[in-house]
Amino acid sequence: MKLPKIPLIVLDTETTGFVPRIHCVMEYACAVVKDGKLVKEYEQLFSLREKCEIPQAVQVLTRIKPENLVGQPTFEASLPTIQALLSDDALIVGQNVKFDIGMLKGEGWDLSHRPCIDTSMLASLLFPEIESYALGYVSSVLDLNHSPPHRALGDVRATLELLSKCWERLTELTPKQVERLNEFAMRGPEGYRRLFGVLQASGKAKPKWLSKGKKTGKLPKAQTVMLPEKGKVTLSEEPLDPDFVPSILAGLTGPTWLSVKNIEAAISRFPQSDSFTVLYPPEFVLSEVAKEKFLSQTDFAGDELTLAMKLELYPAAVRSDLPLHGEEYAIFTGKLACTVESPEYKALKDKAEHGPALLSHQHLLTSALAPDCTLPKNLSLVLDDASMLEDTATSAFAWFCMMNSLRAASQGSAVLTKCADLIELWAERIRNEMDLRYLAPSDLESRESTELKRMIAEILTTKLPPQVKLPLEHLLLILDPQNLPGRITWIEAMPDGSKIIKSVPEDIGSLLAKHVYANYPTTLLIPPASQDDLQPVLPDAVQSSLHNAGPLPDSGLKISMPVGLNLEMIFKKPEGKTIVLVSSKRTIEDIYVKHAERLEAEGTTLICQGFNGGQGRMRAEFDRAKAPAFLVMTPWTFEAVELPENTVDRLILQVLPFDHPSHPVVGRRAGRCRDPFSDYSLPRLKHRLFRLLRTFRRHAKNGAAVDILDDRLRTKPYGREVTAYLLSFGAKKVEGPTQLSFL
């Protein structure tokens, strides 16, 4: 291994959970490095504090059982030995090291003042070609020694080798690049100052790994769509064919814009082409003025430093040009992104006005709703994912304040930081530990709310960066009791611990009619046989016509509803690469606890949402895994998954994916319908089934199987309607008691 010649200690913990002082450290391991050489390894299990238990899922994840801790010393008793391994001049190294330092502090050992390096952030700087920076995936891709698996010492060994790989790439940089990175490091945390202070460049030319490749190729054969007159809407049924939307894009001429739900996901699927402009939203576009201001900061926090280094190493016009990781996304949004007034965004928009363009629903609708709407007068629109238009329009027409982005944008300003603190304190008092809390007039008429409004209004009279101004303007609208009628307004705690204050309209269809359909000829790409189920986004008053109804082409999928097949049988007999969609995170945990150890012993990969990192890591690990392999997640997560084409054998859908009744918006809107189930919930279910099949079709092998296990298809009256909807994909009934098959 090639390592920097400074004293290092690489450490890792295994814990019973994620909350310091509440959860316990049950294993600690470290490796001591001096003069670039490994001199000692250490590992120790600990008996747990009273009332601290190992959850079943953690036992499976770490392979540490309660009986393994019987007779082991306490952490407190072992601390003198552990501390003796950490010399005063040692630099702490770890993968997501802040977590380990936080957990160790909860045990009484405070390392928060010690210089440290996070190898996950360092790897994201130096390995742009890797899809995920989770240690398990990086170990697989870079062939790191990750033994013993699942344990602290295995993680330490892998982290040490990852640091070595990162150091090798750093030394490949040119002297000029190293000089620039070192100049940034001197303004960053001490750990990075020490690491880059001993870096010696050996490269004579820009390393090849600094170049991020883009998808090349040609768009499919062009397909034209019928564009109606202004004020009218054409409906065009969309098949499952992955080439359908790219072929629509290829057929656009003049100022016709194709709007999609997720612009970055679409770009990852579509080849680059000069025939259309990608109109990124301003928050995705890099502002050169903001960049220069950011790079001139006198001090960088850790994630700010790695982002500054990425801006130096990677040519970037939009955020997807950078290998962002961790909090860097929030920093980009808060400190580097364009506004609608930025020259970079204006140039992009000017180009789009003269020809076909690709943009997101959110971006299009936000622009259309703006009081000073500057969309081209002769613009025509094609909107994909019309079945998601209610949700994306809800987001576009929302007022919201995301606390993590506001905090990132407020760094360096005492006034804004104090404002962010007071907003969060107010939200915490109102929320009162509830994950979701609707706001009532009494919440907004209190003395605290009045004082908060006064402070925000005063701050808004000063010159503010747009990344701060917009959320504060939205929050001021939310805090006005007069704006509550006709809107759904709430405070929500997100799974990652961040908080959002949000308000959305109750009625989306009228807003779309007023701001979109009345002004621009619009074609909606809709799921098959759904023209009568679009009321939330297509009011009766809007004139619409169906363009291409009729038999759809063969989907290439074999869809069946087997009788008697259950998840237990599926996991006992793995077949190929299988995606399993289940009802809840609790079900995923049960599957993980019950099957993970056995499947690993049998050579089958099991990747579970919530236990294998975020979407990027799950996708990357499943793509890399050899069959047999399972990817287990909820249907709502799966809709956004992108996998390589022709790689998956089977899709299992455990239950019909109805919206959760506790959703802050869905429940309120359903209540406005004559029949909340038939008029609202059931159409949304059918639309989601279409999107799930379309997503699966993008990466399924030809003839791949889809098995739907929900008995409600046979036992409930609406099951016949859902079955008929599936039949619209060119299916035919197979006689016999065991299954319906759609070929």
Concatenated DSSP letters of 500-520: EEEEEES--HHHHIIIIITTS
Regarding predicted confidence, which is higher, 695 or 217?
A: 695
Pull the structure tokens for residue 401. 């304040």
Whether residue 590 is found in the same domain as residue 710: yes
Instruction: Report whether 97 contacts 117 (CB < 8 A).
Output: yes
Q: What distance in Å separates the CA atoms of residue 105 and residue 241, rounded to the nearest whole number?
A: 53
Asked, for residue 688, whether it belongs to a domain, the answer is yes
In this prediction, residue 737 carries a pLDDT of: 37
| Domain end among 490, 505, 520 | 505
Q: What distance in Å separates the CA atoms of residue 186 and residue 696, rounded to the nearest whole number?
A: 48
Pull the structure tokens for residue 512. 């779309």
SS3 20: strand
Average pLDDT over residues 144-158: 95
Q: What is the CATH number of the domain that holds 83?
A: 3.30.420.10
In this prediction, residue 217 carries a pLDDT of: 65
In this prediction, residue 736 carries a pLDDT of: 35
Whether residue 592 is found in the same domain as residue 472: no
Asked, for residue 695, whether it belongs to a domain, the answer is yes
Predicted confidence (pLDDT) at residue 222 exceeds the cutoff of 70: yes
Question: Burial of 696 by CB count in 10 Å (0-12 exposed, 13-18 middle, 19+ buried)?
Answer: buried
CA dist 554 → 9, 336, 341, 558 (Å): 59, 46, 47, 10
Question: In the 3-class helix/strand/coil scheme, how is 434-496 assigned residue by residue?
Answer: CCEEECCHHHHCCHHHHHHHHHHHHHCCCCCCHHHHHHHHHHHHHCCHHHCCCEEEEEEECCC
Helix (H) or strand (E) segment spanning residue 135: helix 135-142
Asked, for residue 205, whether it belongs to a domain, the answer is no
Q: What distance in Å separates the CA atoms of residue 241 and residue 555, rounded to the nearest whole number?
A: 7
Interval 553-573: pLDDT, tens: 777 888 888 989 999 999 999
CA dist 600 → 11, 20, 132, 150 (Å): 26, 30, 21, 12
In this prediction, residue 214 carries a pLDDT of: 61
In this prediction, residue 228 carries a pLDDT of: 86
Predicted confidence (pLDDT) at residue 741 exceeds the cutoff of 60: no
User: Which of 43-52, 268-277, 421-430 has the least mean pLDDT?
Assistant: 268-277
SS3 33: strand
Residue 552 binned pLDDT confidence (cut-offs 50, 70, 90)? low
**436-438/487-493 β-pairing:** antiparallel
Predicted confidence (pLDDT) at residue 735 exceeds the cutoff of 50: no
Residue 580's contacts (CB-CB under 8 Å, 6 or more residues apart) are 567, 570, 591, 630, 631, 632, 633, 652, 654
**What percentage of the chain has pLDDT greater than the value 90?**
73
Domain count, the chain: 3
| Domain end among 466, 483, 505 | 505
Asked, for residue 542, whether it belongs to a domain, the answer is no
Predicted confidence (pLDDT) at residue 288 exceeds the cutoff of 50: yes
Instruction: Report whether 310 contacts 133 (CB < 8 A).
Output: no
Whether residue 500 is found in the same domain as residue 572: no
In this prediction, residue 216 carries a pLDDT of: 60
In this prediction, residue 322 carries a pLDDT of: 95
Q: Indicate if the alpha-carbon torsion angle 112, 114, 120, 122 is positive or negative.
A: positive
Distance of CA 237 to the CA centre of its chain: 29
Interval 700-716: pLDDT, tens: 998 899 999 999 999 99
Tell me if the bond preceding 495 is cis, omega within 30° of 0: no
Residue 523's contacts (CB-CB under 8 Å, 6 or more residues apart) are 225, 226, 227, 228, 233, 234, 235, 236, 380, 381, 382, 383, 547
Instruction: Report whether 290 contacts 413 (CB < 8 A).
Output: no
pTM: 0.88
Q: What distance in Å separates the CA atoms of residue 692 and residue 698, rounded to the nearest whole number?
A: 10
Average pLDDT over residues 399-413: 86
In this prediction, residue 549 carries a pLDDT of: 59
Average pLDDT over residues 622-630: 95
Residue 583 binned pLDDT confidence (cut-offs 50, 70, 90)? very high
The residue type at 701: K
Whether residue 563 is found in the same domain as residue 704: yes
Question: In the 3-class helix/strand/coil scheme, how is 340-368 assigned residue by residue?
Answer: CCCHHHHHHHHHHCCCCEEEEHHHHHHHH
Q: What distance in Å separates the CA atoms of residue 437 and residue 573, rounded to the nearest whole number?
A: 44
In this prediction, residue 548 carries a pLDDT of: 72
Whether residue 601 is found in the same domain as residue 497: no
Give me the residue label for tokens 């997100």: 494
Whether residue 450 is found in the same domain as residue 597: no
Whether residue 478 is found in the same domain as residue 618: no
Pull the structure tokens for residue 505. 């309209």
Whether residue 167 is found in the same domain as residue 28: yes
Q: Please, what is the Cα angle at 196 between 190 and 197, to 5 degrees?
A: 80
Asked, for residue 593, whether it belongs to a domain, the answer is yes
Q: How many residues does the chain have?
A: 743
In this prediction, residue 265 carries a pLDDT of: 87
| Mean pLDDT across the chain | 91
In this prediction, residue 739 carries a pLDDT of: 40
Asked, for residue 213, whether it belongs to a domain, the answer is no
In this prediction, residue 732 carries a pLDDT of: 39
Predicted confidence (pLDDT) at residue 319 exceeds the cutoff of 80: yes
Asked, for residue 353, whether it belongs to a domain, the answer is no
Whether residue 677 is found in the same domain as residue 570: yes
Residue 736's contacts (CB-CB under 8 Å, 6 or more residues apart) are none
Instruction: Report whether 625 contacts 604 (CB < 8 A).
Output: no
In this prediction, residue 507 carries a pLDDT of: 92
In this prediction, residue 662 carries a pLDDT of: 76
Whether residue 107 is found in the same domain as residue 12: yes
In this prediction, residue 215 carries a pLDDT of: 59
Residue 373 binned pLDDT confidence (cut-offs 50, 70, 90)? confident
In this prediction, residue 731 carries a pLDDT of: 47
What's the first-to-final CA gap in the chain, in angstroms? Answer: 55
Q: What distance in Å separates the CA atoms of residue 545 and residue 540, rounded to the nearest whole number?
A: 12
Domain extent for 431: 399-505
Give me the residue label for tokens 């982002």: 307
| Domain end among 149, 171, 193 | 171
The residue type at 380: S
Closest CA to 733 of 582, 559, 598, 586: 559
DSSP string computed for 46-109? -PPPTT----HHHHHHH---GGGGTTPPPHHHHHHHHHHTS-TTPEEEETTHHHHHHHHHHTT-
Pull the structure tokens for residue 342. 């930025």
**232-237/522-526 β-pairing:** parallel
Pull the structure tokens for residue 368. 């259309």
Closest CA to 55 of 435, 433, 631, 586: 586
Residue 213 binned pLDDT confidence (cut-offs 50, 70, 90)? low
Predicted confidence (pLDDT) at residue 70 exceeds the cutoff of 60: yes
Q: What distance in Å separates the CA atoms of residue 131 and residue 197, rounded to the nearest whole number?
A: 29
Q: Please, what is the Cα angle at 509 between 391 and 530, to 5 degrees?
A: 70
SS3 264: helix
CA dist 720 → 86, 551, 715 (Å): 67, 20, 9
Interval 499-538: pLDDT, tens: 899 999 999 999 999 999 999 999 999 998 889 999 999 9
Counts for the chain of helices (H) and strands (E), in that order? 30, 23
Half-sphere exposure of 458 (CA within 13 A, CB side): 9
CA dist 565 → 568, 636, 651, 711, 719 (Å): 8, 23, 13, 10, 18
Q: What is the CATH number of the domain that holds 601?
A: 3.40.50.300
Whether residue 490 is found in the same domain as residue 593: no
Whether residue 47 is found in the same domain as residue 123: yes
Predicted confidence (pLDDT) at residue 435 exceeds the cutoff of 80: yes
- What is the chain's Cα-based Rg? 27
Asked, for residue 461, whether it belongs to a domain, the answer is yes
